[in-house]
Amino acid sequence: MENKIINYLKFKNVDGFFISKPQNVRYISNYTSDDAYLFITEKGNYFLTDPRYTEQAQIECPNYTIINWREKGKTIAESVKFIIENLNIKSFLFEGDYVNYNMAEEFKSFGLESIGVTGVVESFRSIKTEDEINKLRVACQIADRAFERIIKDIRVGITEKELASKLSHYMVMEGADTKPYGNILISGTRTSLLHGIPSNKTIEYGDFVLMDYGCGYKGYLSDMTRTVVVGKATKEQREVYSIEMQMVEDSKAAMIAGAKATDVYEASIKAIKNTKYFPYHYNGIGHGIGLFVHEIPFMGPRSTEILQENNVITIEPGIYIPNWGGVRIEDQILITKDGNECLTSSIRELIEL
């Protein structure tokens, strides 16, 4: 991937790129751990880390000059200065949305052109390679298998926290990376909390249980949501659920290469627009996903993006009614040449447990 950056640097007529966002570091260098910074130039690539990780960096990134930044100065910027002086760099880019104020000020003090940019590596990352798609596919399959296991555990009296921890355990046992990311498992009226955190609340008869979760596989993430009912669903639960199902189906039908993200949003609200539930839908209906859970393209009424072949995007319209509850179904979709493929395949019809 370094060549992509070098071509970009030539195109922009800049000498180097300091890359520090962890997902971008991983994407460019294949390094899988923490505390790592890249400095990419046409004259050579540098990898800055601390002594905890130098051995791992040497194994995973043999084409880089590995620098222990603690040896080169008090700050990471000081070791960047060392590289700049060595290579006679006159200008370099850094990630303006990630580098902190202090580091940006230090860069400025070098007295050469340091330019903050946003979204460069992210735009490369939004189009997935075959290898990335394969990893995302496995991450989704792991989440699907965990769903089959967790629904057997949902019963009156168990707490949200207990279920959430079982769900994480199942994903690891099914092959997920061990580094977790925030799964949501909430129940009853709490399901209207878009990003509710699992609590000590026990599951009760009649509750919706909303599970929004996923895992990493070799760094690549899955993200899916299913909402089930404990016991027999009420008429209103059925009604809201069936509108939600239709919203997801309509959105998926619109997810093709060349479609505007706003077209997908318009499709997503068709089934709810003329119902009393319209005020309870949420505008953010999906996002790209890969090494990070929320990445471009983002889907909603203000989005300016166009869907492209090999984007992987979640679709997750939802209905959230305060003090009553919420329903979300979320799938992970690969945009293909001729349409799309749903990478998550757990049952979507309403499950009554």
Report the first-to-last Cα separation within the chain, whole angstroms.
47
Q: Which does 174 bind (CB under 5 to 8 A by kind): ligand GLY, Mn ion, none?
A: none
Which residue ranges make up the site for ligand GLY (CB under 6 A)? 212, 223, 316, 330
Q: For 121, how many CA atoms within 13 A lie in the half-sphere containing its CB?
A: 30
Q: Which is nearer to ligand GLY, 210 or 233 (CB)?
A: 210
110-113, long-range: CB within 8 Å, 24+ apart, which pairs?
110/81, 110/84, 112/84, 113/14
Span near Mn ion by CB under 5 A; candidates 14-22, 47-55, 188-196, 324-332: 324-332
Q: Helix, strand, coil % (nearest 5) of the chain? A: 35, 25, 40
Show the CA angle centred on residue 245, arms to residues 266 and 250, nearest 5°. Answer: 30
Q: Which is nearer to Mn ion, 1 or 151 (CB)?
A: 151
CB 271 within 8 A of CB 219: no
Q: What minimum distance in Å lies between the beta carbon of 252 and Mn ion?
A: 14
Q: What minimum distance in Å lies between the beta carbon of 57 and ligand GLY?
A: 31
Q: What minimum distance in Å lies between the beta carbon of 99 and ligand GLY?
A: 25
3-state secondary structure of 215: coil
How far, in Å, CA of 258 to CA of 271, rounded? 23
Q: Which is nearer to Mn ion, 16 or 214 (CB)?
A: 214
How far, in Å, CA of 312 to CA of 283, rounded? 19
Q: Which is nearer to ligand GLY, 106 or 331 (CB)?
A: 331
If binding is defined by CB under 5 A, does position 314 make contact with Mn ion? Answer: yes
Q: Quick one: which of 253, 245, 252 has its CA closest to 271?
A: 245
If binding is defined by CB under 5 A, does position 223 make contact with Mn ion? Answer: yes
Q: Which is nearer to ligand GLY, 174 or 330 (CB)?
A: 330
Interface pick for Mn ion out of 144, 207, 212, 263 (rule CB under 5 A): 212
Q: Which is nearer to Mn ion, 305 or 330 (CB)?
A: 330
Q: What minimum distance in Å lies between the beta carbon of 351 and Mn ion?
A: 18
List the structure tokens of 295: 């990445």
Q: What minimum distance in Å lies between the beta carbon of 223 and ligand GLY?
A: 5
Q: What minimum distance in Å lies between the beta carbon of 263 and Mn ion?
A: 19
Span near Mn ion by CB under 5 A; candidates 128-136, 148-156, 211-219, 233-241: 211-219
Quick one: DSSP state of residue 210? E
Q: Which does 331 bind (CB under 5 to 8 A by kind): ligand GLY, Mn ion, none?
A: none
Q: What minimum distance in Å lies between the beta carbon of 218 and ligand GLY?
A: 20
Rounded to the nearest 10°, the torsion over CA 251, 253, 259, 262 is -20
| Residues in contact with Mn ion by the rule CB under 5 A | 212, 223, 314, 330
